[in-house]
Chain A
Amino acid sequence: MKTDKVQSIIKKWNGDPNYAIEMLQDIQSEFRYIPKEVIEEISESTGIPRTQLYYLATFYKAFSLKPRGEHEIQVCTGTTCYVKGAFRILESLQRKCGLSDGETTDDLQYTLKYVRCLGCCSLAPVISLDDAIIGKAKSSTIEGLLARKVGEVDTK
């Protein structure tokens, strides 16, 4: 099962080592982390050295060697959001659910990530839930997000 997925991702990028980062991105979104076996498999199929794959997987913030939650909450800590109070949102998250950067809730529902600028600085402070962006956020916004079931969150 896993192998099929991995092979189809490798095939999508023609096994071209130039697209190693793109392959890992697809793996990350498929499994929500980069499993060790998958690194082995990519290395075997493409000839990209394992060291290089591990180096990539640990250098870039988009990748994680541990499973991430089903949903990703990103809190923008770009300059504008920072001066507009992003840190207050972060602190209250930490207080309420003990989550800090890169951490995942025990039920594997949510992962919190800091991100430097989502490119909507006009709406600072900004947070995002998966691909939906929420502007002019307050500490209460995230609590509200976490409290409701995700399907009900009115983001669109």
Chain B
Amino acid sequence: MTKITITDLKQISERNKSTSEKFKASLLVCAGTGCVANKAFIIRDALEKELKEKNLESDYRVIATGCNGFCAQGPLMLVSPEGTLYLNLKLDDVSTIVDEHLINGKPVQDLMYISPVDETRTPKMKDIQFFKQQQLIILRNRGAIDPEQIDDYIGRGGYQALAHALSEMKPNEILNEVKTSGIRGRGGGGFPTGIKWESCISSAKKTDVAPYLVCNADEGDPGAFMDRSIIEADPHSVIEGMAIGAYAIGAKEGFVYIRKEYPLALERLRKAIQQARDYGLLGQKIFDTDFSFDINIHQGAGAFVSGESSALMTAMEGKVGEPHSKYIHTVESGYKGLPTVLNNVETWANIPVIIEKGGKWFSKIGSGDVSESPWKGSSGTKVFSLVGDIANTGLVEVPMGITLEEIVNKIGGGVPEGRQCKAVQTGGPSGGCIPADLLNLPVDFDTLTQAGSMMGSGGLIVMDDSRCMVDVAKYFIDFLVEESCGKCTPCREGLVIIKTILARVTNGLGEPSDLEMLSDISETIKNASLCDLGGSAPNPALSTLKYFKDEYKAHIIDKKCPAGVCKALIQYTISKENCNGCGVCPKHCPEDAISGEKKELHTIDQSKCVKCGICREVCKFDAVEVE
């Protein structure tokens, strides 16, 4: 293919728009990983077949998009531009939609969103509470384009920011826009991006070398999928951001470090890079200027610590990804010992918008006032993966400074099944659990850190009152023990001690002195570890200890797990009122511990019970109780 010019870019955009106007509507089927797992591709194929059979191919087109965000309700389809959203699609629904909606013009009520409040149907996506309060900058193209077609991205204004930057701006003007925007890194640390770029530029100048530029798509936080969704839905936004960044800092070569567990994201990224090269948007003399830049991919092989900046640089050299001392910064000595800028996927995806709309515009969104210093606020929006015990799970993008309560109760639709919200886990293994009574806290970099957690990369895991906070702390510590690289003693040994204490507590063998020991060791690990894995590792334990001390005490003193989770401290029983003797649980019990005649009350033999909880999972009448 031939290289395109700036004029071509405009033409492609116009052409793409007029193509879509030729159709009566576009049928946007979500093909993010969640929906694909729910058979979205089968739905798409059936839809295409149905349109063909009914000779509607020239009126409607089907587009498989990236993640729409409303993952819990997938597979889903948006009829665009009118905006009707269909949810929980099954194969049979395809012909109903085609016949009733497309042919007869009557949207299908039964497949629309049901409001949990008044059980009415909401036809339009924009009126659904989940979408209403979101503000899309990073996810500006989500669910609206085919991520595998570069023309679709260009049709929505894509690569215009790069064209503008290269033809009308000097590198330091770009840097100034980024600095004015106040944007801070979205990978967890929240370091101001402009300052990072500036120090890299000055170290490169000192040594007179071209710096490198890297995108961190390792996403090791277990319970978060923002970066995956961004790459799957809109890979070109990341590529364009990186190209603009490269121009600003003078890089000629860039890398994306992406984890192996994300095959779909990897495939889409590969295709996108190739398409950008074909158009000459990556490669030599981009838009006939003197600027040349290309991107290559490195695949991670499954290690949380390799997402840390110095470890990631080593991993990219084909070596084991372990952290190094931080007195040398990667902006001075990163990949191959050269100055390197590392930013997160989401940070890069923001850059084109900052250049297009200006740093000032961006700085007004979010919380605090960043006009003097980026440290004085959190500008822009943040993408969160909202999951756990919540009605509307999925991906949301909100302005910084919004409260947790708004995210959980308004956008997320609250905790289902009549349960109470107990805590929200933020920041993954480096973060902590924020208790329900602090949900009025604004979500930004600094507030959550003050509360003993962290905003982190954007995982929000809502937990209801059936979750045990000691068990959650133990979960994270176990994870971190496994993931610690072992290079420094406080993290390697200290975490094992915390793990042992928490195991003791959850097994009912804890002692009152354990609580003090937990805090002491945590402080040492925090202060003496080499990298931030160790530096923040005690947070899950410390935050639960701070907000849920009573629960720890119940385990230690009363030998009870109030939430009914810790096996050594609970008992399963069958309730007289609810059991109708249906006979399902004895069939599933792996230990043959349940007996009882049909239609009569069943009982559990406690000496045989291994507390696997399967009976509770299979009982349709909520008859199995934990105490």
Contact = CB atoms under 8 A, between A and B. Distances in A.
Contacts of A38: none
Contact of B614 (A19, A56, A124, A139): A139
Nearest to B262: A119
A118 B463 CA distance: 20
A3 B321 CA distance: 28
Interface in A80-101: 80, 82-85, 88, 91-92, 95-96
A83 B614 contact: no
Interface in B215-250: 219-225, 228-229
B472 interface: yes
A124 B38 CA distance: 13
B425 A79 contact: yes
Contact of B72 (A24, A96, A122): A122
B2 to A, nearest CB: 28
Most buried by B among A24, A83, A84, A96: A83
A95 B590 contact: yes
Nearest to A130: B263
B33 A83 contact: no
A44 B302 CA distance: 26
Interface stretch (A4-12, A58-66, A104-112, A144-152): A58-66
Q: What band does the interface of chain B fall in when counting residues whose beta carbon is under 8 Å from A?
A: 35 or more
A40 interface: no
B53 to A, nearest CB: 22
A17 B318 contact: yes
Interface of B: 33-34, 36-39, 41-42, 71-72, 219-225, 228-229, 260-263, 298-304, 315-321, 385, 387-389, 393-394, 425, 428, 459, 461, 463, 467, 472, 475-476, 479, 588, 590, 612-614, 617
A-B pairs with lowest CB-CB distance, top 6: A20-B318, A122-B71, A79-B223, A78-B222, A60-B301, A119-B225
A121 B316 contact: no
Contact of A61 (B224, B302, B389): B302
Most buried by A among B387, B388, B588, B612: B387
13 contacts: A18-B316, A21-B318, A55-B319, A85-B617, A88-B613, A92-B590, A115-B261, A117-B225, A120-B71, A121-B461, A122-B393, A124-B388, A139-B612
A21 B298 contact: yes
A101 to B, nearest CB: 10
A139 B223 CA distance: 21
Contacts of A133: 33, 36-37
A88 B614 contact: yes
A62 B222 contact: no
Contacts of A115: 261, 302
Contact residues of B: prevailing secondary structure? mixed
Contacts of B260: 25, 62
Contacts of B301: 21, 24-25, 56, 60-63
Interface in A17-41: 17-22, 24-25
B294 to A, nearest CB: 15
A134 B37 CA distance: 6
A121 B299 contact: no
Contacts of A118: 33, 261
Contacts, number: 152
Nearest to A132: B37
Nearest to B392: A122
A79 B34 contact: no
Contact of B461 (A61, A62, A80): A80
A96 B591 CA distance: 11
Contacts of B425: 79
Contact of B223 (A18, A52, A80, A140): A80
B187 to A, nearest CB: 16
Most buried by A among B219, B223, B394: B223
Contact of B299 (A25, A52, A82): A25
A135 B33 CA distance: 10
Nearest to A26: B299
Contact of A20 (B220, B319, B389, B479): B319
A95 B588 CA distance: 13
A96 B388 CA distance: 28
Interface string A40-57: 000000001000100110
A138 interface: yes
Contact of A83 (B300, B304, B388): B388
A88 B393 contact: no
Contacts of A116: 220, 222, 304, 479
Given A85-B613, A116-B304, A135 B38 contact: yes
B37 A78 contact: no
Given A62-B301, A79-B222, A121-B393, 13 more contacts: A17-B317, A18-B318, A60-B303, A62-B302, A77-B222, A88-B617, A116-B220, A117-B221, A119-B219, A119-B228, A121-B387, A121-B388, A139-B614
Contacts of A82: 475
B312 to A, nearest CB: 12
Nearest to A115: B261
B37 A123 contact: yes
A123 to B, nearest CB: 6
A138 B617 contact: yes
Contacts of B319: 20, 52, 55-56
Most buried by A among B71, B301, B321, B428: B301
Contacts of A131: 263
A85 B219 CA distance: 22
A156 interface: yes
A75 B479 CA distance: 15
Nearest to B317: A18
Nearest to B69: A122
Contacts of A78: 222-223
B467 A135 contact: no
Given A20-B319, A85-B617, A60 B37 contact: no
Contacts of B302: 60-62, 115
B33 A80 contact: no
A77 B467 CA distance: 16
B303 A59 contact: yes
Contacts of A19: 298, 318
Nearest to A138: B617
A88 B614 CA distance: 7
A140 B298 CA distance: 37
A156 B39 contact: yes
A92 B612 CA distance: 8
Given A61-B303, A62-B301, A91-B612, A83 B261 contact: no
A117 B223 contact: yes
B463 A83 contact: yes
Contacts of B222: 77-79, 116-117
A96 B463 CA distance: 30
A120 B33 contact: yes
Contacts of A95: 590, 612
Nearest to B479: A116
A80 B262 contact: no
Nearest to A117: B222
Contacts of B393: 121-122
